[in-house]
Chains A and B, each alone.
Chain A
Amino acid sequence: MASHNNTLAETAGPEVSLPARKGHFKSDGLQLRLGILLILLTGIGPSLLGNSYWEHTFQLVNIYIAVAVLQNFLFVDAGQKSFGQGAILGFGAYGLAIASGIHGLPLAVGVLAAVGAAMLGGLLFALPALRVQGFHLGFVTLSAAIVFPQLLIQFDDVTQGINGISLYLPALTKPVVFGLSGLTLLVTAVPIAALLMHYGIRNARLGRRMRLAAESAEAARSLGVRPGLMRALGFMIVSAGTGICGALYVPTVGFISPQGFLVELSFTLFFVVVVGGRGQLLGPIIGIWVIYIVPNVLLVQLVEYRLLIYGFLTLAVVIAFPDGLVGTVEARRRKRFQRGGGEQGFRLAPFTETLEKIAPRQVPAEAAPILEVRGAVKRFGQVVALDGVDLQVRPGEVHGLVGANGSGKTSLLNVISGFSQMDGGSYSFRGRDVTRQNAASIARMGLGRTFQTPRIFTGLSVWDNIQLGLDARPTPLEPEMAALAHRFKEAYGEDNPGLLAHGQRRLLEVIRVVFADPGLVLFDEPAAGLSPAERAEFSRLLRQLSKRLGVAVILVEHDLDLVWDIADRITVLETGTVVASGPPQALARDPAVQHLFVGGAHA
């Protein structure tokens, strides 16, 4: 770390300093350590105490912890609400039990069968998730949880659903170290592994991109991520992990029957995640303590009231503490120790300085257009939004796109970025016809965009929000930009984006797009809500992007003063057709443009 600072000092020199403050944005590290500690407690504690009843009970608890940790990951990081994780666990358990318990296949094959079966079950959830979300998916997973135990009984000749399957593995119960059996070690290791996986993926590129897809499908596509793929991947990762838990479930219980995988189990796992705190690493573990361990182990006489207690607890948590137990504590902590915001919340100066140091990318005057739209037509039912629009944008050009409400500006942006398909015409980007390409592929070719409401994710730190752009970058960073990225990381790695003013969010979103190294960026009403100072800063930034980085810009903006100030060319749309196009000076007195100005028709 120190050496980094030295090199930075050399390159950064007397530059604008970025803030250095104390406080952490997330407590993931602490929660991870606490979680491992608690898992060790329930995992090996009872064995060390020599209480075999508790040892057995807590072995099962630890498996449930692992499943709940995975469900927590699925719920928040992949954004998928599943009411059917108990069934996935059952798939895994029956995979092993049928392969090894009934057919006597080697354990390794059995474990593979468990993982395979669970993933097959997960596929049942993942496929509909490609098309639908929300309550639709909720019902699919719920009905799977209901049907699963019934199927086990129906296919009795395959599953021995009526009699159950016994599978004891005496080898696993023999002490290995410190009097701890192999089984005890395994049921301790698996939830820890699940927790480490959650932590690891969340803090890696994959996890960030998954979260991005979960929070905003549009933003994900504009950064080259396919949301459907991410959802399916989330289901598959979780199913594989849950399958391993299922495999471990069999020797832990020694005997499995459909009774072990009723819909109540799925509900319990879901409630555990909600009560503990959705998205908090420690959440499912605390959730298990509150929902499962306390009523089942400490208050055994209350066991029949279990579901009632779960239901009421969950309802109370949703209404009174929507963040869950750990989430509420974490929200307090964050509020108390949060950093960021204010005038120093996000500063553009270091970025601007870095650009000054990079040699400007010269764009030859005769360079071929980076974007060429030919006769674009877009219809919505009877309404023709685009009626044969032609548009050419050259590298490094700032191209203003203006027109009244409903003139087709947004339709054109959506068509160019691949969010919707043209009904007629074609367009090429960087010399390739991309008319039928999807948004994510076009984004990966180097087309970036911003949104009317900046897509800044408050669950990620300011730096992680920038890093989403870096994650989408196909090329290595220039040394200057790498140094800049490092400075941003140092300065904003623990900052809360929730504290940023709107203008700072807007700039942050632009920096994110620029880090993805686009050839063309579409700006959708970027100046809305900017103060005069922010507006000036934004204009400077746009000019730098085009003149120094050679990025082409399409600017859809109502603020005509801004457009006329910075655009190289302006295209005017009216009811889906181009009515004027040319340099701003030439266009200022064009009759086709006058209606856009207040009082313009009076002149």
Chain B
Amino acid sequence: MLSEIAVIVIRGVAIGALFSIIAMSFNIVHNATRILNFAQGHIFILGGFAAYFLADNAGLPTWLLMLVLITLVIGVLVAAQGWLTLLPLRGNTSEQDSWMISTVSVSVIIAAILMLLYGPFAYSVSGPVPAFRIFGVKTPGAFVLAIAAMLGWYCLLSFFLRRTFTGLAISALSQDFDAARAAGLGVRRLQLLAFGISGMIAGSAGFMVAPIISVSPDAGMRYVLNGFIAAVVGGIGNNSGAVIGGPLVGVMAMLMAYKVGGAYQDLASLIVLVVILMFWPQGLFGRAAARRV
């Protein structure tokens, strides 16, 4: 019994770490632009595909090299997506929600390209960290990578946003948009950078945890939804909230899977989402007060 609970918690936290990572990739873009990139889950899966084709069974040096390379490439791609998304939002046009449509269409485009190239199959990838046993249960090594990726990105982002000039500028942008512009911060450039970083977060994570995710064209949707739920639970824009929210959602999903069967996971997610939005639309942990006049 105890070991069962431990397994649920470990698996839940590991899967939830993925949701946290996607939530953090939502957050940085949202803070800089008030946009939520619906394609974030597919970008994550893109990292998984890269792992399959470039680093399956690879040795650690190759794997690391590829990780860096893929992180950068996906970062650039998502920055380009950001440029496209921000195009119609220039100036004070009446149409300020075109981003919802354009990011959804990018998610469909990514899924369609993957489908055309690789078919509707789920690819299995083996990573550099071997499986190990906890409470006698075999546990994939990528679980460790998932949690490491979450904590790593959380620390990296915290450092970047609080210590570096550019990171501070992005924080400033999210705290007071007008004051940031008055101070002469290059708003558009910072926003593109935020998109790029969000791509690096999601892409690198997808690459690292490819062994434990379903590397298939249609898996992106599930991750984007759960990532969104983690973001909402933690309060959109709040990375610390996301780090708590993700594992919370993950453990809950695992508990559901254990009690009523894994097939109801998505239904459980939907119910959690509706309940949270009905009763705590600001998230369980709230969000640092930000002014944007």
Residue numbers of A with Cβ under 8 A of B are 81, 83, 124, 127-128, 131-132, 134-136, 138-140, 142-144, 146-147, 150-151, 153-154, 263, 267, 270-271, 274, 304-308, 310-312, 314-315, 318-319, 322, 458
Contacts and interface: CB of A to CB of B under 8 A. Distances in A.
A373 B100 CA distance: 44
B232 interface: yes
B232 A83 contact: no
B112 A124 contact: no
A322 B98 contact: yes
Contacts of B105: 271, 310-312, 314-315, 318
Interface of B: 36, 38, 84, 87-88, 93-95, 97-98, 100-102, 104-106, 108-109, 111-113, 115-116, 221-222, 225, 228, 232, 263-264, 266-267, 269-270, 273-274, 277-278, 281
Nearest to B267: A147
B109 A315 contact: yes
A544 B102 CA distance: 51
B92 to A, nearest CB: 13
Contact of B273 (A135, A143, A150): A143
The 10 closest A-B pairs by CB, nearest first: A311-B109, A308-B112, A307-B112, A311-B108, A314-B105, A315-B105, A135-B36, A143-B270, A311-B105, A318-B102
B266 A81 contact: no
A132 B84 contact: no
A127 B112 contact: no
A273 to B, nearest CB: 10
Contact of A315 (B106, B222, B267, B274): B106
B266 A319 contact: no
B104 A319 contact: no
B43 to A, nearest CB: 14
A263 B109 contact: no
A308 B116 contact: yes
A147 B270 contact: yes
A188 to B, nearest CB: 30
B111 A127 contact: no
Contact of B225 (A128, A132, A142, A274): A142
Contacts of A458: 94
A267 B113 contact: no
24 contacts: A131-B277, A131-B278, A134-B100, A135-B38, A135-B100, A136-B232, A136-B277, A136-B281, A139-B228, A140-B273, A140-B277, A142-B104, A143-B225, A146-B225, A147-B267, A154-B263, A263-B221, A267-B108, A307-B115, A311-B108, A315-B84, A315-B106, A319-B98, A458-B94
A83 B281 contact: no
B264 A154 contact: yes
Given A311-B109, A319-B84, A140 B274 contact: yes
B225 A322 contact: no
A440 B263 CA distance: 44
B88 A319 contact: yes
Contacts of B267: 147, 150-151, 154
B220 to A, nearest CB: 11
Given A138-B38, A305-B116, A146 B104 contact: no
A78 B116 CA distance: 37
